[in-house]
Amino acid sequence: MKAHTADTLTQGQLREALDYDPATGLFTWREDRQHNAKRGGVAGVRVPLGGRCRHRFYWRLSLYNRAIYAHRAAFLWMTGRFPPPRLDHKNRNGEDNRWLNIRPCPSHAANVANTQARSHNKLGVKGVRKHWNRYVARIIVNRKEQHLGSFKTVEEAARAYDAAAILHHGEFAGVNYP
């Protein structure tokens, strides 16, 4: 069951079956249901995003034979409208579905900009790679790589990346040093 096919789910159906706490981001069952879903129990399952991002997780709900990610359900719950194609978790944690952490995202590029260093990144900072005995900072803007400079330390290079990310990506900038 795909989690993006729930576009026929309504706010009324959602509210009939579940309660949502905007402060915690948790959905709970309003009444006992099949498969050990008890009244007041946390609804949904933790699922990996998949692909290259197996270390990232989201909450997925199953309701009326439809699956929907919890952040999309929260948007529907709070606004009464089915969510736009892209929603973003401000703090980059897909399991944190508090209402204040969810925002519409204008483009795929903006959504990708608000990511952290990849798990296989040996330096642990975004936008920096080691080249000989220096650290090179770079950023992708409009699908083009921009060279930001060569630095003596990882921190200097990471801060150069952060400044460029804020300049080019604004509120969606995924920075190394918030």
11-105: CATH topology is Homing Intron 3 (I-Ppo) Encoded Endonuclease; Chain A (3.90.75)
Pairwise pLDDT comparison (145 vs 121), residue with the higher score: 145
Token duo for residue 157: 């290079």
- Give me Rg for the CA atoms of the chain: 19
In angstroms, the Cα distances linking 48 to 55, 59, 84, 158 are 7, 9, 21, 28
Domain boundaries 109-172, CATH class: alpha beta
Q: What's the rounded mean pLDDT across residues 116-136?
A: 87
Q: Mean pLDDT of all residues in the chain? A: 88
- Degrees, nearest 5: CA angle 11-111-98: 45
Report field, pTM of the whole predicted structure over 0.95:
no
Give the residue extent of every domain in the chain: 11-105, 109-172
Give the least confident one: 21-25, 48-52, 58-62, 160-164.
48-52
**Cα torsion 32, 36, 41, 43: sign:** negative
